[in-house]
Chain A
Amino acid sequence: MYIVDMLGITKTFGELVANDNVDFQLRKGEIHALLGENGAGKTTLMRILYGLYRPDTGIIKVAEQPVEIHSPKDAIANGIGMVTQHFALVPPLSVAENIVLGNTDGFVVNRAAMEAKVAAAADRFGIVIDPKSLVRHLAVGQRQRVEILKALYRNARVLILDEPTAVLVPQEVDALFETLNRLKADGLSVIFISHKLHEVTQITDRVTVLRDGKLIGTVDTKDMSQSQLAAMMVGRETFGVTRKDEQHEQQPVTLRIDNLCAKNDQGMPALTNVCLEVKAGEILGIAGVGGNGQKELAESLCGVRDCASGSIQLAGKELIGKTPAGFTQAGVGRIPEDRHEGMVGDLTVTENLALEHLNEYTRSGVLDHKAIRTRAEELIHQFQIKARPNDPVRTLSGGNMQKVLLARVLSRNPKAVIVPQPTRGLDVGATDYVRQQLLEQRDRGAAILLISEDLDEILALSDRIAVIYEGEIVGILPAGEATPERLGLLMSGAVKEH
């Protein structure tokens, strides 16, 4: 008996087949992982179940009965609740108001009664939350609990969680898993979307794997090892790229950041007295939960954000006050966090490759198209970019876009490289490639500042690891001493190590 049975679901977006004849069966009282790489079609499948998309073909049964789900309202009526990757909460309202929103019994809201009802529900499901507190005062992990409670409050028997751990620190993940196990014991069914293998093996009963929109299979979690699951996910065993251990104690400091302060887009302080040193031939990893100043740090170091105070020195030369072009000329290899912000999508691969160094290809104002083209062909070959020189960059896959950026930057042998989130959204093959390139740069003697929210990536590549929390560096450890637990404590802001 399946509580949810999706049969032959196909969904296309234009040319792209996001779900290709996918079957998905959910049992009552299980935690079921939906596993797959970015872009595999997990979110799409669940948005269909929740009524946010209509499938092109396929049927959905809830408790053996065929149902038509046209909107989230229908989904909720069928006992299905979803917590999306981006929360749908109203920050100025209280927890109770958010939960009751759109689900009030009458026109008049009795605040005390409402709060009591929400508190009772929280109690019943074992979710620790104060119904009176305002959502805008809550941490991400708590907001997620509000979303879960919201779904449960509407009598959801099936709970869909779309990459719930992506925004959480390790301690919050543990708390979430406790909640999920408790719900499961109550007989609820949970669909847990993830692409993190260790979480899937830790918490789920069964796993359904999607790849390129196709169903690869559904298996019992206990029968599978992480590497077997990985193989299903990517179609091959992964060979993660990792750093060879070497000491770089004797090397000079290439990049020195002193008391750097910067504001975010809202004008609030985002970086407070950041001090970092990156030596030649070293990868310094910056770990931290997203939104703790990583973006501002990367932008400051790329010369595209004005710093309030402090200093950035490359091989002894001050960079503050220089233009982005000045940073490049000084020898900073700048890779933007958002690939689309580093390249002009409607310009070609060739043009984008030349964009940072147009002066070198210009004679009395006129572009040397031939030289640009030749150089582009070389780089496309050298960096294994799967694209033709005249393809607009926006038609490239994420991995190939990242390769274009790497080619533009790394081919110049920069003294220092700033790489925020270099593998975000890339598949395993492209991820390995990017990491390999970074390690080669390190071995060449470049100073590399790697900013990443992916702890595994930080641990695999860094020689030293700094943790950023609310715009401050709260600890710097040699890679050898860094454990996920210790980093997790630092990342959550619970401790500082100096």
Chain B
Amino acid sequence: METSRLRLRFVKTDNPPVWVRPLIPVLALVVTFILTSALIFWANANPFETYYHFLIAPLTTKVSALEILVKATPLMLTGAAVTFAFAAGYYNIGAEGQLFAGAIAAAGLGVAMKEVPAFITIPTIVIAGFAAGMLWATIPALLKVKLQVDEVVTTLLLNSVMGFIVSALLNGPWRDPNSGWPQSPEIGASAIFFKLIPRSRLNLGFVIGILVILVLWFVLTRTSFGLKMRAVGLGKPAARFAGIHVGRTTLIAALVSGGIAGIAGVAEVAGIQYHLIGDLSAGYGYTGIIIATLGSLNAVGVFIASLFFGLVDAGAQTVSRVLGVPVYLGEITQATMLLVALGFFLLQRYRLRRM
């Protein structure tokens, strides 16, 4: 920690000043810009122009601005899911798999309930998606609570297992009979999330995302269960000593977390794709972990972080199209930004001191 030749050193501070938080994305951008400029030059593009298309352009037209919200929707849900578990000290890395569990439920019921009216179908698939995500989260949660098996390992491994299940479904019983593609048959019209704004992709899923964020906020800050969860998350022995049922609290947090991730899967199937497909999720379950961390495990933070990632996501898509640079460039920039943002997030807890 000591860089004595410079006579400077990092000193850990307990409470980083509040004004630091909004600076993080800005600083992250600047640093990312510097780091990626060389690559952009190499691809024969102008970094300033590229970044304009990356970050500003999406905000300038209504269509692309709405696209930001579309991209933010699954991230809000997985971010909320991860936050719910992490707040209780349960490190659910399995939102990705739980998302697919919800997606399977939505794709299955969406087809089966073709004849049922929308006002029944839509609540049903949302609840079923929640239940499916919860069910998939039950295995590692019980292993954790009953046998103290590390949930980081089990939830992560179950993501791969879910990957195989999805692939087995899509290449087996659910393969689309018409096209022969590995995708499930299209869900019925009654299961499709209605559009919020015509001719955009913005749909009911976004509203559900906002509702979930509100519920997350309410539970964490206003309810006794939320306080119990935070107590368990921040100090298990103390929570146990104070008479809180640590096992029960952890279990509920883990299951609800899985359920919320399941809803993210429902929203992608019913709101965007209308099929179950193998790459339904662009790693939303994992990005949710970053969003929860950057959002410091609180609802408002998660909301802002999802919007920011939605913007970067939307921008990355347009950049390559508009400038004719390789798609990878957008992805590299996105990944760099992520790492830099995380780096700043860690560094904000330190102060630089002259010795």
Interface: B242 (CB within 8 A): yes
Given contacts A340-B235, A356-B242, could you give 11 more A-B pairs where the C-beta distance is less than 8 Å? A325-B243, A344-B239, A346-B234, A347-B227, A347-B231, A347-B234, A355-B231, A355-B238, A367-B226, A367-B227, A392-B14
**CB < 8 Å neighbour of B243 from A56, A323, A369, A392:** A323
Main secondary structure of the interface of B (DSSP, over half): helix
The answer to whether B321 has its CB under 8 Å from any CB of chain A is no
Q: Find the B residue at minimum CB distance from A361.
A: B224
Would you give 7 A-B contacts (Cβ < 8 Å), ordered by A? A325-B243, A334-B241, A345-B238, A346-B234, A347-B230, A355-B239, A392-B14
Interface members, chain B 208-264 (any A CB < 8 Å): 222-228, 230-231, 234-235, 237-245
Complex Cα distance, B218 from A369, in Å, reads: 13
Residues of chain A from 339 to 380 with CB closer than 8 A to chain B in the complex? 340-347, 351, 354-356, 358-359, 361-362, 365-367, 369
Q: State the CA gap A96–B244 with chains docked (Å).
A: 50
Least CB separation from A355: chain B residue = B242
CA gap between A355 and B242 in the complex, in Å:
6
Asked whether B12 is an interface residue with its Cβ less than 8 Å from the other chain, the reply is yes
A341 to B241, CA, bound (A): 7
Give chain A interface residues in 128-174, CB to chain B under 8 Å.
Answer: none
- A302 partner residues in chain B, CB cutoff 8 A: 241
A344 to B228, CA, bound (A): 11
Among A377-397, those with CB < 8 Å from B are: 392, 394-395
- Whether B243 contacts A328 by the Cβ 8 Å rule is yes
Q: Select which of A344, A361, A369, A395 is within 8 A of B238 by beta carbon.
A: A344
B34 touches A (CB below 8 Å): no
| Contact (Cβ within 8 A) B238 A343 | yes
81-122 of chain A: CB within 8 A of chain B = none
Are A340 and B227 closer than 8 Å at their CB atoms? no
Please give me the residue from chain A that is nearest to B231 by CB atom.
A344
Which residues of B have CB within 8 Å of A367? 222-224, 226-227
A302 to B223, CA, bound (A): 27
Please pick, from B12, B223, B228, B238, the residue contacting A340 in the complex, using a CB distance under 8 A.
B238
Chain A residues close to B by CB (< 8 Å): 14-15, 56, 302, 304, 323-328, 334, 336, 340-347, 351, 354-356, 358-359, 361-362, 365-367, 369, 392, 394-395
CB-CB < 8 A to A392: which residues of B?
14
Report yes or no: A304 in contact with B227, Cβ–Cβ below 8 A.
no
* Closest residue of A by beta carbon distance from B12: A14
Most-contacted residue by chain B among A56, A326, A365 (CB, 10 A)? A365
Q: Which residues of A have CB within 8 Å of B147? A: none
Question: How far is B226's CA from A239's CA once the two chains are assembled, in angstroms?
Answer: 45
Interface centre among A326, A355, A365 (most CB of B within 10 A): A355
Report if B11 contacts A (CB, 8 A).
yes
**Which residue on B lies nearest to A395, using beta carbons?**
B14
User: 10 closest Cβ contacts across the A-B interface?
Assistant: A325-B243, A344-B235, A362-B224, A355-B242, A346-B234, A324-B243, A341-B237, A358-B224, A344-B238, A344-B234
Point out the residues of chain A lying under 8 angstroms from B355, CB to CB: 56
Contacts of B244 in A (CB 8 A): 325, 355, 358
In the assembly, what is the distance between CA of A299 and CA of B142, in Å?
26
Contact partners of A340 in chain B: CB under 8 A: 235, 238
Task: Tell which of A56, A345, A346 has the most Cβ of chain B within 10 Å.
Answer: A346
Identify the closest chain A residue to B245 (Cβ). Answer: A323
Pair A304/B240 contact, Cβ less than 8 Å: yes
Q: Mark B148-176, 1 if CB is under 8 A from A, else 0.
A: 00000000000000000000000000000
Residues on the B chain within 8 Å of A15, using CB? 11
Give the shortest distance, in Å, between A147 (CB) and chain B (any CB). 30
Q: Considering the chains assembled together, what is the distance between the CA atoms of A324 and B230 in angstroms?
A: 18
B272 to chain A, nearest CB (A): 34
CB distance from B354 to the nearest CB of A (A): 12
Q: A56–B12 Cα gap in the complex (Å)? A: 17
Q: Shortest Cβ distance from B348 into chain A, in angstroms?
A: 16
A343 to B235, CA, bound (A): 8
A370 to chain B, nearest CB (A): 12
| B355 to chain A: closest residue by CB | A56
When C-beta atoms are compared, the residue in chain B nearest to A344 turns out to be: B235
**Distance (Å) between the CB of B6 and the closest chain A CB?**
16
User: Do A358 and B234 touch (CB < 8 A)?
Assistant: no
Q: Measured between alpha carbons, how far is A323 from B242 in the docked complex, in Å?
A: 10
A191 to B244, CA, bound (A): 47
Task: Give chain A nearest CB distance to B94 CB in angstroms.
Answer: 25
CA–CA, A79 and B222, complex, Å: 62
B234 to chain A, nearest CB (A): 4
CB contacts (< 8 Å) of B12 on chain A: these are 14
CA distance A302 to B231 in the complex (A): 19
Q: Which residues of A contact B14 (CB under 8 A)?
A: 392, 394-395
In this complex, what residue of A is CB-closest to B239?
Answer: A344
Chain B residues lying within 8 Å of A366, measured Cβ to Cβ, are 222-224
**Which residues of chain A are near B237, meaning CB under 8 Å?**
341
A342 to B244, CA, bound (A): 12
Closest B-chain residue to A359, C-beta based? B224
A342-B241 contact given A366-B222, A367-B222, CB 8 Å threshold: yes
A346 touches B223 (CB 8 A): no
- A-chain residues with CB within 8 Å of residue B242 when the two chains form the complex: 324, 342, 355-356
Residue in A325, A365, A395 whose CB lies within 8 Å of B224: A365
Q: A358's contact among B11, B227, B241, by CB below 8 Å, is which? A: B227
Q: Point out the residues of chain A lying under 8 angstroms from B223, CB to CB.
A: 362, 365-367
User: Are A341 and B224 in contact, with the CB atoms below 8 A?
Assistant: no
Across the interface, name the chain A residue whose C-beta is closest to B224. Answer: A362
Q: Is the CB of A345 within 8 A of B241?
A: no
With A56-B355, A346-B234: A324-B224 Cβ-Cβ less than 8 Å: no
| B322 smallest CB distance to A (angstroms) | 46
Report Cα–Cα, A325/B231, bound state, in Å: 15
